[in-house]
Amino acid sequence: MLPFDFDYYRPQSLSEAVELYQYVAQQGKKPMFFSGGTELITLGRIDLAHADAVIDIKGIAEGRVMEMDGEYLVLGSTLSLTNIEEANPFPLLTKTSSEIADHTARGKITVGGNICGQIFYREAVLPFLLSDSQVVLVGPKGVKTAFIHDVFNQELQLEKGEFLVQLATERRFVEAPSISIKRRQQWDTGYPLITIAALKIDREIRVAISGLCPFPFRSREVEEVLNRQGVTGEARVERALTVLPRPILNDIEGSTEYRLFVLKNLFIDVLRSLDGMTV
């Protein structure tokens, strides 16, 4: 039950959505783009999110795309995680997103909503960071295409009135060997401790991590160490733990020390799976 009222709009085109946002903002009200909407509904209930006008972008055709366009897999931002899992066009994305929330909730949560969410895990972004994907954004200045690394720094850097429309990923990344592991404090459900996604391309391993820091990231420094030649797997893993971004989370899900212990073992799992490391 949301303790505040809002206006609700369901635009049918990108331009209509952008104009609605500006129209609402010009009236001094707070608009919000709404995809799966689970964050507004759950956080709004406890006064951690608010909007005067909800602009539901699920009716826009561009956001529903799921197709190979030449050498690129194009995924619309308003596809639900279940839509993507059932069609399975990107196995690493399927594996990573299939660990988010629970199956029924994933029928509501969208890939774009997860990437742009307030909750810091944002695990759906990991496969796109690993595969140097491109993102399509739309806003008051029109449609913009950018490499994800240029617009995603801890979170998607959206300008006011902008929203994510599509993600495009090269086929060679979609088909590359990959692994995704989610470790929780206990059992198979609940919030993650750490999620790691990894992919091997051009004989190099790439890793992206969620739940270690208060933001998801891919670290070139970590990858450089993990791929170093002539060094044992164990030594690479130990070294990788020293070049992580900061801060390391220290919360009820796990202390900093415990997260680093879990991460060390996840690195070993990744090297075993993708690099033939034996321990």
Partner 1 sequence: MSLHTFPLNVNGDKRMVTARFADTLLFVLRGRLGLTGAKPGCLNGDCGACSVNVDGWPMKSCLMLAVEAIGKEVTTIEGLKDTPIQKAFVENFAFQCGYCTPGFIMNCHALIKQHPDAGDDTIKEWLESNICRCTGYAEIEKAVKSVLEKK
* Residues within the interface to partner 1 (CB under 8 A): 1-2, 4-8, 37-38, 41-42, 44-45, 54, 56, 58, 82, 98, 101-105, 107-108, 188-189
Residue pair 34/57 in contact by the 8 Å Cβ criterion = yes
Cβ of residue 42: shortest distance to partner 1, in angstroms? 5
Quickly list H helices, the chain: 14-26, 38-45, 81-87, 91-97, 103-106, 111-115, 126-130, 148-151, 171-174, 220-226, 233-240, 256-275
CA angle 77, 92, 58 (to 5 degrees): 15
Cβ of residue 109: shortest distance to partner 1, in angstroms? 9
Closest CA to 200 of 179, 184, 182, 170: 179
> Of 35 and 169, which has the nearer Cβ to partner 1?
35
Cβ of residue 45: shortest distance to partner 1, in angstroms? 7
Class of residue 269 by CB neighbours under 10 A (exposed 0-12, middle 13-18, buried 19+)? middle
> Of 192 and 233, which has the nearer Cβ to partner 1?
192
Cβ of residue 72: shortest distance to partner 1, in angstroms? 28
Cβ of residue 58: shortest distance to partner 1, in angstroms? 8
> Of 253 and 275, which has the nearer Cβ to partner 1?
253
> Of 13 and 154, which has the nearer Cβ to partner 1?
13
Cβ of residue 103: shortest distance to partner 1, in angstroms? 5
Amino acid, res. 258 = Y
> Of 7 and 67, which has the nearer Cβ to partner 1?
7
**3 state DSSP class of 47:** coil
CA–CA separation, 279 and 264 (whole Å): 13
| Contacts (Cβ under 8 Å, ≥6 apart) of 224 | none
- For 201, the token pair is 């391309």
CA–CA separation, 279 and 28 (whole Å): 61
Cβ of residue 8: shortest distance to partner 1, in angstroms? 4
Amino acid, res. 251 = D
> Of 35 and 131, which has the nearer Cβ to partner 1?
35
> Of 6 and 217, which has the nearer Cβ to partner 1?
6
